[in-house]
Amino acid sequence: MKRPRIKHIVTKRRRRREGNPEFLPKAESVPRITNETVAAHREEVLSSARKYIYPLQHSKHRIVVISVTLFIVMIVGFFTYSTLALYRYQSSSTFVYRVTQVVPFPIARTGGRFVAYENYLFELRHYMHYYENQQELDFETEAGQKQLAEYKRRALDKVVNDAYIKQLADQNNLSVSNQEVDDQLKIVRAQNRIGNNENVFEDVLKNFWGWSVDDFKRSLRQQLLTQKVLATLDTETNQRAMEALQELQAGADFAEMAKKYSNDLATKEVGGEFPSPVGRSAPELTAQTTEALFALQPGQISEVINIGYALEILKAIEKTSDRVRGAHILFNFKDINVYINDLKEQQKARTYITLPASEDLTPPQ
């Protein structure tokens, strides 16, 4: 009974209040704008808005300053970490290797040229990959550390020597084209030395050396460049090989020429003949030797061919579909160091890391 009464009273009071002018909202006074006051009114409006704009501009400026500062700190930190990892701790991790592929940190200087740290890690990492995965060598053991120290020295010596070889190549206008690399790769694959199937070939490279096909081509290119430099500079060996070829073409006996000229002590006294018939993927012979030997017919003699470490003249004696009985005359090139050492004397190499001697290494505790 009481609840309807209360509701009636509240409703009645609300109506009185709404009808009373004292409770109505008062209209704000609106300034009158004329032609004379419009400029002043505009400035008044703009000035009231600036108090919101200026703090926003200040915030943007502060954000830019903070962002630039953080970026600089990150860059400095990145280079500090990379420098310590490379030159103090001599890390060969995948992350550090990727960094050197982007940033050209030097590991040595030969004359006026820097040798990229990435070149050194490229050589070292494929050594490590092979012995860790194929030979199961633990580099944390004392023997493993000594072995690793030897590989580090070998890799550093190689990249420094490669830099001198490139300098000699430039001096003699020598280079290796992509086509030459591809042709050599075809020979290797055709002989099934690393697998003639594309997938098998890639798997072998990855499992044995941690390489891609491009990595293998990179190594192959350097080998071919070294061969060209040797063939150009070692004029004495070239002359001996050409003299032997001319005598053979004039009718000289191949066996007698092998005894006279060949540097292969194992075959020269038997007329240069290989111990057994050669197959297409004979591991004891180079890919160039096998390719040239299978291109000959029985009784034919090859031209002088460059097999990398030597020049060679071949003769096919007997031939079947998959085997060739043959002989060769070998002309060893001089050691590449004969030509590199002259440059080394003129332009001393400076290395930026110090490698410990094997005997100084102790196993971790």
Q: Where are the domains of the chain?
A: 38-89, 103-233, 235-341
Query: Maximum distance among all alpha carbons in the chain?
Result: 142
106 three-class SS: strand
Question: What does 259-299 look like in DSSP terms, one character per residue?
Answer: HHH---TTTGGGTTB-SSPBPTT-TTS-HHHHHHHHTSPTT
Spatial separation of the C-alpha atoms in residues 316 and 189, rounded to whole Å: 23
**pLDDT number for residue 49:** 58
| Alpha-carbon span 35 to 44, nearest angstrom | 15
Q: Which CATH architecture has domain 235-341?
A: Roll (3.10)
How many CA atoms are closer than 13 Å to the CA of 30, on its beta-carbon side? 3
Q: 263 is written with which tokens? A: 């540097």
Based on its alpha-carbon atoms, the radius of gyration of the chain, rounded to whole angstroms, reads: 40
Predicted confidence at residue 14, as pLDDT, reads 57
Q: 101 near 117, Cβ under 8 Å?
A: no
Closest residue by Cα to residue 278 from 319, 332, 331: 319
Backbone angles phi, psi at 356, to 5 degrees: -70, 150
All residues at 6 or more sequence positions from 237 whose CB lies less than 8 Å from its CB, including other chains: 310, 311, 331, 332, 333, 334
Quote the tokens at residue 332.
């060893």
Could you list the pLDDT tens digit for every one of the 365 residues in the chain? 445 555 555 455 555 555 555 544 554 555 566 666 666 666 666 666 555 555 555 567 778 888 888 999 999 999 999 999 999 999 999 999 999 999 999 999 997 889 999 999 999 999 999 999 888 888 888 888 889 999 999 999 999 999 999 999 999 999 999 999 998 888 888 777 676 677 788 888 899 899 999 999 999 999 999 999 999 999 999 999 999 999 999 999 999 999 999 999 999 999 999 999 988 877 788 888 998 999 999 999 999 999 888 999 999 999 988 899 999 999 999 999 989 988 888 888 899 998 876 445 444 33
Q: Beta strand 106-110 with 349-351: parallel, antiparallel or unpaired?
A: antiparallel
183 burial (CB, 10 Å; 0-12 / 13-18 / 19+) is: exposed
- The answer to whether the CB of 247 falls within 8 A of the CB of 257 is yes
CATH number of 103-233: 1.10.4030
- What one-character-per-residue DSSP string does 302-339 give? ---EE-SSEEEEEEEEEE-SS-EEEEEEEEEPPPTHHH
- Residue 204 confidence (pLDDT): 87
CB 315 within 8 A of CB 301: yes
